[in-house]
Structure 1
Amino acid sequence: MDFLSQNWHLVALAVGAGLALMWPSLSGKTAGVSASEAVRLMNREKAVLVDVCEPAEYAAGHAAGARSLPLGQIEAGAKALPSNKSLPIVLLCASGMRAGRAARQLQKLGHEKVVVLAGGMNAWREANLPVEKGGA
C-alpha cells in the first residue's frame, strides 16, 4: 500500500493508458481497415462490400463489386446484406463517417464482423482499386 501512495502518478498513468487502449470498445466504435485489408477480407474470408452512400453518389462512382445500401435503408435492406450474419461486411462511403454509423446499426441487427473502410472511397481510389460508375 505504501508503494501506491508514494507512486500515485505512476498508477494514474497506468490506468489512463489502459483506458486509452480500451476506448474503441467502450465507445462502441467499429474497426477501421485499410483498402488492402478490405481486399484481403473479400478474397480470403468472402467479405461483402457494401456502399452506404446515397444512390446518386453510388452511381457517380463506387468500388467495383460493392452492393448499394444507403444508410437510411439499412434496417429494411436485408436483400443487400448476407443472410449469414457471421460473414464479414466491409462498409464504405465517401469518407468513412456514414459507414461508421451504418456499422453500429448492423451490429445491433446481429452481424458479427462489421468493419469500416478507413478513408472511404478516397482511400479506395488512392489504393488504385477498381471503380465502377452507374447502377444502384
Structure 2
Amino acid sequence: MAQFIEFVSNHPVLFALLGVLLILFIANEIHGAIAGGKRLSVPEAVRLINDRDPIILDVRPPADFKKGHLLHAYNAPITKLDEHIGQFGKDKTRPILVYCALGSTAVTAAERLRKNGFAEVYPLRGGLNAWLGANLPVTTR
C-alpha cells in the first residue's frame, strides 16, 4: 500500500489519466446498455438464429464483410444504413441481429433501426471478434 501511495504522489498526472479512462469506460458501457437495449452474447445470438430466423445485419465496411461474415448476413455499412433499411422487408416485427467488429457500432445501428420502427433489434456483444472467439464459423460467400 505504501508503494501505491508513493506512486500516486510521484505521478499525479498518470493517476489522473487512469481515473479519466476508467470513468470514460464506465460511461461508455452505461450508454451502450441504455441506448442499445439488450445486447446478445454469442450463445444468445446462436439461440436467436436457430429459433427465430432473424435478419442478420453486418454494419462493417464491404471490404471487411468480404473477408468473412455470418452465414446469410446482409452487409449495410453504418455510413449507408439508411439507404439499406428498405431491403430488410416490410415485416418490422421480425428480429434483427446486428453486428460489427467489436460491438460498439452495432449499438448505434440498433438505435437507428429502432427509430425506423423495427421492434426487435439486438446488437451482438463483442461483435464478430466475440463470434470468432467462440470458434463459430463465418463464410466468405
TM-score interval, smaller chain: 0.7 to 0.9
**8 Å CA contact 2:60, 2:76 repeated in 1:** yes
The structure with the largest helix share of the pair is 2
Contact between 1:49 and 1:67, CA under 8 Å: does it hold in 2? yes
Q: Runs (4+) of structure 1 moved beyond 3 Å? A: 23-27
Give the paired residue count: 112
Q: Distance between the aligned counterparts of 1:52 and 1:99, measured in 2?
A: 7
The CA distance in 1 between the partners of 2:60 and 2:34, in whole Å, is: 24
Could you list the runs of 5+ residues in structure 2 that have no partner in the other structure? 1-29
* 1:32 counterpart = 2:53: no
Which structure shows the higher strand fraction?
1
Mapped pair 1:92 → 2:99: yes
TM-score by length of 1: 0.74
Residue identity opposite 1:115 in structure 2: Y
CA drift of 1:87 comes to 0.6
Scaled by the length of structure 2, the TM-score of the pair is 0.72
> Percent identity of the aligned residues?
35
Unaligned runs of 5+ in 1: 1-22
Superposed CA RMSD in Å reads: 2.0
Which residue of structure 2 aligns with residue 19 of structure 1?
none
